[in-house]
């Protein structure tokens, strides 16, 4: 599906495919006050973008024009070049997963014995992810075996120490660190921020592989889905959960299924009113009808865990 937008120079109007639920996407983006790579300001989202055509990061302000059912992207810190505006449109399209037709998943939401229990208001929530592979992998590694609150604390320290910033209107906006910057670090520079030694090594190792050109999102997207999973699993520190999380949140593989995820298990327990968390075998059985949509099923079940 081609990115559909109109360039008005001072702003872009992006026409999202239906279903699209801006309110639900905004709720997802607001789920942590510790998030540092975007800021939710009322009904708007501000986000920095590193482009190939501008020497400095471009600040995007994303809003919803309900009367026209369009996403508006403006540039509060200055209008970038036409080429950079095109990059901005593609970035937002990718970030909000607007390229995935959801008709099949909509059928599951209506008729699946488990997913039909989810609130109808979730419909149109998109798999908001990470267009940048290094950001996806580093976030997944940071989040391994710790609670979400501490994961966000580590991410904030990581971004604010090694990322690039832009100050506009008294607000500080941050870019996730570039892999080339992290590739030059020693593990002690991350353990100083309460990374474990292993996590520090894993994040730096991924950064080095990307900086050398051995690993890229483009390469993974050219591989078939099984090959992409094997490529990710070959990375030190990347197990099945991390590989499947990155596939669903960065590569848009709708069949990726982080089945061992604790949040998924908790969500199913509460949604189904079970006395205990379901076993892996029970989850595999209830997920049979989700074939091809396991990633979206997981993402929507995670939605039940935050207000």
Give the residue numbers annotated as catalytic, written as ranges.
261
Structure-token match 């570039």, residue found: 178
The Cα 123–Cα 210 span in angstroms is 36
Structure-token match 């940048």, residue found: 132
Interhelix angle 294-303/240-249, nearest 10 degrees: 90
CB 101 within 8 A of CB 17: yes
The Cα 304–Cα 122 span in angstroms is 10
The first and second tokens of residue 32, run together, are 């942590």
Is the sign of the CA dihedral 241, 106, 32, 149 positive or negative?
negative
């Amino acid at each position: 599906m081609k990115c559909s937008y109109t360039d008005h120079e001072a702003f872009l109007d992006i026409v999202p495919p239906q279903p699209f639920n801006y309110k639900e996407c905004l709720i997802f983006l607001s789920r942590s006050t510790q998030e540092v790579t975007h800021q939710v300001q009322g009904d708007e989202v501000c986000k920095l973008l590193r482009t190939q055509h501008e020497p400095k990061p471009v600040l995007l302000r994303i809003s919803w024009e309900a009367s026209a059912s369009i996403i508006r992207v403006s540039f509060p810190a200055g209008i970038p070049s036409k080429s950079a505006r095109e990059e901005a449109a593609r970035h937002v399209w990718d970030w909000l997963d607007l390229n995935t037709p959801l008709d099949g998943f909509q059928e599951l939401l209506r008729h699946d014995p488990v997913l039909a229990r989810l609130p109808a208001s979730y419909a149109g929530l998109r798999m908001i992810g990470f267009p940048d592979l290094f950001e996806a992998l580093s976030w997944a590694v940071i989040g391994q075996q710790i609670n979400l609150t501490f994961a966000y604390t580590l991410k904030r320290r990581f971004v604010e120490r090694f990322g690039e910033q832009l100050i506009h209107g008294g607000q500080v906006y941050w870019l996730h660190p570039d892999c080339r910057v992290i590739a030059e670090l020693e593990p002690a520079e991350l353990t100083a921020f309460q990374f474990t030694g292993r996590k520090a090594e894993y994040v730096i190792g991924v950064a080095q592989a990307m900086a050398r050109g051995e690993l890229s999102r483009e390469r993974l997207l050219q591989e078939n889905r099984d090959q992409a999973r094997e490529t990710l699993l070959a990375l030190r520190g990347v197990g099945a959960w991390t590989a499947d999380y990155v596939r669903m949140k960065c590569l848009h593989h709708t069949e990726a299924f982080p089945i061992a995820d604790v949040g998924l298990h908790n969500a199913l327990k509460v949604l189904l009113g079970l006395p205990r968390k379901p076993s892996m075998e029970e989850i595999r059985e209830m997920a049979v009808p989700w074939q091809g949509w396991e990633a979206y099923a997981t993402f929507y079940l995670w939605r039940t865990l935050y207000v």
